[in-house]
Structure 1
Amino acid sequence: MVILDWVVLSGTLLFIAGYGVWKTRGSKSVDDYVRGGNKARWWTIGLSVMATQASAITFLSTPGQAFHDGMGFVQFYFGLPLAMIVICAIFVPIYHKLKVFTAYELLEKRFDLKTRTLTAILFLIQRGLAAGITIFAPSIILSAVLGWDLRTLNIIIGIIVIIYTVSGGTKAVSVTHKQQMFIIMVGMFFAFFFILGSLPIDITFGEVLKIAGANEKLNILNFDFDTQNRYTFWSGITGGFFLALAYFGTDQSQVQRYLSGKSVRESQLGLIFNGILKIPMQFFILLVGVMVFVFYQYNSSPLNFNPAASEAVLSSTYAEDYRQLEQGHKELETEKRMAQNEFSKAWGVKDYNAIEEARIKMVDLNKKESSNRDAARTLIAQADSTVETNDKDYVFIHFILNNLPIGLVGLLLAVILSAAMSSTASELNALGTITAIDLYKRNKKTQLNQSQYVRATKAFTLLWGVIAIVIACVANLFDNLIQLVNIIGSIFYGNVLGIFLLAFFFKFVKGNAVFIAAIITQIIVIIGWSQDWMSYLWLNAFGCALVILIAIILETFDRWLRNPAFEA
């Protein structure tokens, strides 16, 4: 990075934080601080909802996911538009009618205080962990690639977010989300067109798609019914639907975005806006990852994209074995470039026999390269078991730092850090609100005035910011960061969604049955996840159905016990 990149990066981040503080200073009431005075328009709500979900993990992990596994991950989002329709029709009108500050207030009105408290605590656990991971994700990658100190990065990102989130509350989060989404999309479009312009002059976008398709990177739809398969059409419209319904309908970090709407209609339009644009946005981000794959068909790439991993193995007794793998990797790259040229020439003259021969050769070479990378990961693990061998999350940042021009590097790093700030701000905002409203205010015997409750909410937001930084400092990588966040959500979301559906549609079920059912369900889901009963996406539907079923059985059994005929 050069001075211009530093100027772009630091200027972007400081502007966002400063704008958020200046634009939203002076919140004097809980309504102002928590719901932004109910002044948000639909486009602000829509962008804020999108920015809350689009963390740094989205822009680090998703391109790497596409680079290795293709576009199939987009199926994960297929249930989202359906979930938006349900939330607009059922959740939003109820929340606005009851004028709640948090989603969990509704549960006390319908059931009892202990059910509200339990659900709030489940939210605090999973969202508190997620807040730490959304700080940790960009920090660990930037630390490894740039050599920056990991803990210092965690603290810097956390402090910047804390400053404007604590200062302005929900309104600060919403207004900064608009700037962050603009920066994010501009940066990704720049990356897309830069890759296209960096390929050989005779390689058009159509040629890029042919090469990607030949290497099975454009296989979007999978209609397999195997529940162990993470990303299929069926898991997307079922498990993905339940996950989206729970996340957007019951997670305070999202509910708080549309509770700030000027009216029910503004909130609904904002959610529909998100439902329409989310899949195309994720499709485009995955397509950027596929473009990176094609770019590296013509340009050199490292054997492992994590520089810390390469450094660890090269300083070990396995160094010579690793160098031999690197030499084989370079030879494969030369063969790949030749195969790509043969493939393109065959397409140019429409020689379909030659096209198929070149395609088979291309696929075979990429499989050999994949095997080579697997062997490298094995060596790295043997050299140092503490180093992350899975390099999916490092692919895009390696491309940014080693191939983009001066200035654009700073912009793309600003994209990653802006995304981290946007999602973390929403999470801290929600965590502080839930702690203040659902736990502190509800259980405090003496009432405070509005300014005192605002100060309490700010204090809890600050506390959760510190906790998130601590979690980030002790966190560790997992298979793929974007999957890790979704796995954490899936463990809890199905249960929480089931509780809300019981509140909406099963009027005969009472609080005691729901409370016990929720505890039993959470234990079973955690066991199911640990024992790998099914792909994590299915946990959402499983948890939702399980808590409803157990609650109905418990309520029915309780009524049977209380039946006078039985007692006689």
Structure 2
Amino acid sequence: MENLEDVALHLQRFSWPDYALFSFMLFLCILIGLYFGFIKPHTADAESEYLVGNRSMHFFPISLSLIASFISGITLLGLPSEVYLHGIQYVYVSIGVVLMGIIMATFYLPVFYGLEITSSYEGGLKAVVWTDVVQTFSMFLALILVAVKGTIDLKEGGIGHVIDSALNTSRLELPNIDINPLVRHTLWSQVLGGVFYWVQTNAVSQNMIQRYLSLPSLRAGRKSVWLFVSGVVILMMLCSYNGLLMYATYKNCDPLSTNLAKAKDQMLPLFVMQTLGELPGLSGLFIAGVFSAALSSLSTCLNSLSAVVLEDFIKPFTDKPLTDRIINWVMRSTVVIVGISSASMVYIVEKAGTVLQLTMSLEAITNGPLFGVFTLGIFLPWINSASALTGGISGVIFMSWLSFNAQYAIASGQMEFPPKDLAADQCPYSFIPSNSTIKVSDEYIFPLYKISYMWYTLVGAIFTMLVSLLCSIFIFGFNDPSTISSELLTPFLRKTFSKENEIKNERPIKAVKDTEF
């Protein structure tokens, strides 16, 4: 019988076809960037072309770019591990994704299309979009290959065995309808908490809004929303199936128990090497898919950040209009500097352990308050900027306190989330059993720290809006809604709070800056 070290060494193989496929994907993405950045002739309006593609993009590539921006390497690695350990409760968040599409298309997109702005707070976008198209296809292909090959390799009945194994251990189960907000995953936290998380990610995130605004019309934007929602749901289903497939494969020999996998997020790469490793090139294709997910999210952030830096940190402080040469230099320099800084952070992230819950928890520190501020501006025009700013800052402070303390409780072992049944009694290799056991801490944990991380964005938004409302009532007073440009409000409120004497030919961006919140 082989020992654990021999098995681990055998799995650490990468053939030249793997390196070739992986390198080809990276080289193709570089070529796309070079073509749109330095070879393709540019229009006179360099800023518009770089940031929003001259608002002439087609909805199909934009939808794929949205999917690539939305699905990160964290999702591709973290979601299968989540399903492997805890079952499919997390997957019910896909209902929230569908509801997000309805809310986004109905209430938020019309406002941004009416304003025709570049920064949602008031990059080459075409290169990023077409790179995302390549990377999205790579992600789908990698997940499908893992699912098909892994199912074929099962010796006990294919898909039927996957389902039976999941049912027998309650990994495949109906949603938990417990209304307790302290339970990690319930139907309510996944749907209600999830819909606010995803609406924030789409409706007030510069990464996503910049893509929607590159489309020529609101109708094209709505088409893009629904194609995007469909793609995300399909990807989540593929990731979830791969998680169940992993359990069907390892149900009698859990790699985490034997220490073949050192961390939870190594489960899918281990599974890939065992199922695809014998076929030259396929392991490289999977790694290319994971890199695609990571790079697509990173390229989206870099391009969007260049828009924010230009529109919100440089233009307001310049007396003269910037030349195209300076604009191009600023945007490209921002991408290079932030890109290098982001790459250097990998040494910190690798120490973070499981990253799916950690990422969503820390994102909520700014996402919740930001969503609250934008919602105030679009739905509650009588809240003034001073109140909204106070609420936003208070929300960031509150969510920082909540998120960091909750993560500390998890990291220190005060809070545990035990997995469903795992076994390692029929392993085909020898290993030294671990003596570690799950310790139940007797320390008192403040109840708010126990709240499900899926509620964080909603909690941050509500806290921000509540503080803003109280500030308007007791300190700063209210705006007169009749003085607010109707373009700043969601469509169903425009007739109620429309400005009676709208100034003709006023640039919408001026309205945004005068009534920023």
Q: Normalising by structure 2, what TM-score?
A: 0.76
Q: Is the alpha carbon distance of 1:300 and 1:226 closer, same or farther for their aligned partners in structure 2, counting shifts above 3 Å?
A: closer
The residue number in structure 2 matching 1:410 is: 284
The 3 A distance-change label for structure 1 pair 402 and 76 is: same
Determine whether 1:393 maps to 2:265.
yes
- Are the counterparts in 2 of residues 51 and 177 from structure 1 also a CA contact under 8 Å? yes
| CA displacement 1:383-437 (0-9 Å, x = unmatched) | xxxxxxxx21000111122331221111111111111111111011112211121
What is the rounded CA distance, in whole Å, between the counterparts of 1:96 and 1:300 in structure 2? 51
**Counterpart of 2:135?**
180
Change (3 A) 1:494 1:456: same
CA contact (8 A) 2:202 2:209 kept: yes
In structure 2, do the counterparts of structure 1 residues 508 and 205 end up closer, same or farther at CA, with 3 Å as the change threshold?
same
- Greater relative contact order (CA < 8 Å, ≥ 6 in sequence): 1
Distance 1:103 1:467 in 2: 24
1:2 aligns with 2:19: no
Residue 421 of structure 1, aligned match among 266, 275, 295: 295
Q: Secondary structure at the match of 1:225?
A: coil
Aligned to 1:457: 331
Distance change (3 Å), C-alpha of 1:522 and 1:298: closer
CA distance in 2, matches of 1:559, 1:529: 29
Q: Which of the numbers 155, 166, 183 marks the counterpart of 1:212?
A: 166
Q: Partner of 1:271 in structure 2?
A: 225
List per-residue Cα deviations over 1:347-393 (Å, max 9, x = no partner): xxxxxxxxxxxxxxxxxxxxxxxxxxxxxxxxxxxxxxxxxxxx210
Pair 553,296 (structure 1): closer, same or farther in 2 beyond 3 Å: same
- Distance in 2 separating the partners of 1:178 and 1:80: 21
Given the alignment, which residue of 196, 220, 234 partners 2:151? 196
Post-superposition CA distance 1:518-538 (Å, at most 9, x none):
111211222222344122221
Question: Counterparts in 2 of 1:148-297, with a 5 A limit?
Answer: 169-200=124-155, 202-297=156-251
Which residue number in structure 1 is paired with residue 7 of structure 2? none
Q: Which residue pairs with 2:86 in the alignment?
A: 69
Give me the whole-angstrom Cα distance separating, in 2, the residues matched to 1:441 and 1:509. 26
| 2:308 match | 434
238-247 or 213-222, which deviates more: 213-222
Task: Give the residue type in structure 2 aligned to 1:397.
Answer: P
Deviation at 1:299, TM superposition (A): 7.0
**SS of residue in 2 equivalent to 1:226:** coil
Q: 1:560 to 1:243 in 2, by over 3 A?
A: closer
Give the drift of 1:37: 1.2
Structure-to-structure mapping, 1:415-564, within 5 angstroms: 415-532=289-406, 533=448, 534-558=451-475
Task: Specify the code of the residue in structure 2 equivalent to 1:462.
Answer: V
| Separation in 2, partners of 1:275, 1:217 | 25
CA distance in 1 between partners of 2:234 and 2:310 (Å): 37
SS at 2:124 equivalent: helix
Deviation for aligned residue 1:548 = 1.3
Cα pair 1:80 1:240 within 8 Å, conserved: yes
Q: Contact 1:496/1:544 (CA < 8 Å) preserved in 2?
A: yes
Name the CA distance, whole Å, in 2 between partners of 1:97 and 1:253.
Answer: 19
Superposition deviation, residue 54 in structure 1: 1.0
2:283 partner amino acid: V
What is the deviation of 1:241? 1.1
SS in 2 for 1:447: coil
Moved more, 174-183 or 70-79: 70-79
Cα deviation for residue 444 of structure 1 reads 2.5
- CA distance in 1: counterparts of 2:254 and 2:236, whole angstroms: 27
| Local SS of the residue matching 1:79 | helix
C-alpha distance in 2, partners of 1:497/1:210? 42
Q: Distance in 1 between matches of 2:477 and 2:106?
A: 35
Rounded to whole Å, the distance in 2 between the matches of 1:470 and 1:458 is 19
Distance across 2 between alignment mates of 1:257 and 1:561: 34
1:402 and 1:561 map into 2 onto residues whose CA distance is 63
Cα offset, 1:230, TM superposition: 2.4
How far 1:508 sits from its partner (Å)? 1.3
Partner of 2:409: none
Distance 1:489 1:299 in 2: 35
How far the C-alpha of 1:23 sits from its partner, in A, is: 4.4
Q: Runs of at least 4 residues of structure 1 off by over 6 A?
A: none
**What do residues 435-471 of structure 1 show as CA deviations (whole Å, max 9, x unaligned)?**
1211112223332123321221111121111221222
Alpha-carbon contact 1:27-1:33 (below 8 Å) kept: no
Change (3 A) 1:447 1:253: same
Q: Is the 8 A contact 2:202 2:208 kept in 1?
A: yes
Opposite residue 198 of structure 1, the aligned amino acid is D
* 1-structure distance, mates of 2:477, 2:55: 46
**In 2 relative to 1, CA 299–474 (structure 1 residues): closer, same or farther, beyond 3 Å?**
closer
Please state how far the C-alpha of 1:196 moved relative to its aligned partner.
1.2
- Is the 1:83–1:241 Cα contact (8 Å) retained in structure 2? yes
> Unaligned regions of 5+ residues in structure 2, if any?
1-13, 407-447, 480-517
Aligned mates of 1:477, 1:248 — CA distance in 2: 29
CA deviations 1:127-175 (Å, max 9, x no partner) are: xxxxxxxxxxxxxxxxxxxxxxxxxxxxxxxxxxxxxxxxx72111111
- Aligned residue pairs total 417
Contact 2:386–2:476, Cα closer than 8 Å, also in 1: no
Equivalent residue letter for 2:150? I
Between stretches 35-44 and 16-25, larger displacement belongs to: 16-25
Once the two structures are superposed, residues 159-206 of structure 1 have per-residue CA deviations (whole angstroms, 9 ceiling, x without a partner) of xxxxxxxxx721111111111111111111111111111111x51322
Q: 1:490 to 1:300 in 2, by over 3 A?
A: closer
Provide the secondary structure at the position in 1 that maps to 2:345: helix
Measure, in 1, the Cα distance between the counterparts of 2:468 and 2:181: 25
8 Å CA contact 1:30, 1:451 repeated in 2? no
Normalising by the residue count of structure 1, what TM-score does the alignment of the two structures yield? 0.70
* Per-residue CA distance 1:269-318 (angstroms, 9 max, x = gap): 111212233223202211111101112237784645566x5xxxxxxxxx
Gaps of at least 5 residues in structure 1 are 106-167, 310-390, 563-568
Q: Using a 3 Å threshold, how does the CA distance of structure 1 residues 9 and 527 change in structure 2: closer, same or farther? A: same
Contact 1:305–1:395 (Cα < 8 Å) also in 2: no
Q: Which moved more, 1:439-448 or 1:52-61?
A: 439-448
Give, in angstroms, the shift of residue 75 of structure 1. 2.2
Displacement after TM superposition at 1:240 (Å): 0.8
Taking the aligned partners of 1:68 and 1:396, their CA distance within structure 2 comes to 12
Matched AA of 1:548: M
Could you say if the C-alpha distance between residues 305 and 35 of structure 1 is closer, same or farther in structure 2, counting changes exceeding 3 Å?
farther
